[in-house]
């Protein structure tokens, strides 16, 4: 009987330890990760956003470890982003710059770690409708296009990003149309 009691005690303690460790291993990620790729390609008639640009990748984490990944693709070769997380959510903000001056600002935030609210120059978007944001600053008021793609498969290397418009016509057309519009309506005539 004593032997069975020892076996039961050992098993009960082992089970309790296993339950405790399982509870300790659950992770809740809160925070923000950001990264950027910037490029300039020399060509006879450069199209901003295709031949020069900045891609800011922001992941907002609050709860689920994978977080909400957002991609901001701008037509300037200078930009920055930063963010923070807390017990109530995670947020980030960034800018597209020219000569150190902001041309377009964006902000994003999540309260649950699965979807986010995005504001770009006063326009509000929901990440449920897409996580890739194309931003053209060729006009007085920045133009924005939201695309619904799987940004978890979005390229992270400069050469892959530069190839992306060739493989995704909606990206190429957005920046090409903005460039044509700016050429037809130069800044001094606006």
Tens digits of residue pLDDT in 63-83? 888 899 999 999 998 888 888
pLDDT for position 166 = 94
For 91-103, letters b (16+ CB in 10 Å) and e give bbbbbbbeeeebb
| Token couple for 146 | 């939201």
pLDDT for position 22 = 37
Q: Which residues of the chain fall short of a pLDDT of 70? A: 1-28, 187-190
Residue 127: which region, alpha, beta or left (left: phi > 0; alpha: psi -120 to 50)?
alpha
d(CA 47, CA 165): 11
d(CA 111, CA 95): 22
**Contact of 120 with 135, CB cutoff 8 Å:** yes
- Whole-prediction pTM value? 0.82
pLDDT for position 187 = 63
pLDDT for position 188 = 59
What is the distance of C-alpha 170 from the center of its chain? 18
């Amino acid at each position: 009987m004593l032997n069975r009691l020892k076996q039961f005690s050992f098993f009960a303690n082992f089970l309790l330890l296993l339950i405790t460790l399982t509870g300790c291993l659950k992770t809740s990620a809160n925070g923000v990760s950001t990264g950027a790729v910037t490029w300039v390609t020399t060509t006879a008639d450069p199209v901003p956003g295709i031949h020069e640009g900045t891609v800011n990748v922001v992941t907002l984490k609050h709860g689920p470890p994978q977080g909400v990944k957002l991609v901001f693709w701008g037509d300037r070769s200078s930009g920055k982003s930063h963010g923070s997380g807390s017990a109530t959510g995670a947020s980030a903000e960034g800018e597209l710059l020219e000569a150190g001056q902001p041309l377009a600002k964006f902000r994003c935030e999540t309260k649950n770690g699965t979807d986010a609210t995005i504001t770009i120059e006063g326009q509000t978007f929901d990440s449920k409708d897409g996580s890739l944001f194309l931003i053209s600053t060729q006009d007085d008021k920045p133009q924005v296009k939201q695309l619904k793609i799987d940004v978890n498969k979005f390229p992270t290397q400069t050469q892959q990003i530069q190839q992306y418009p060739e493989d995704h016509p909606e990206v190429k057309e957005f920046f090409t149309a903005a460039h044509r519009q700016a050429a037809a309506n130069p800044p001094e005539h606006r």
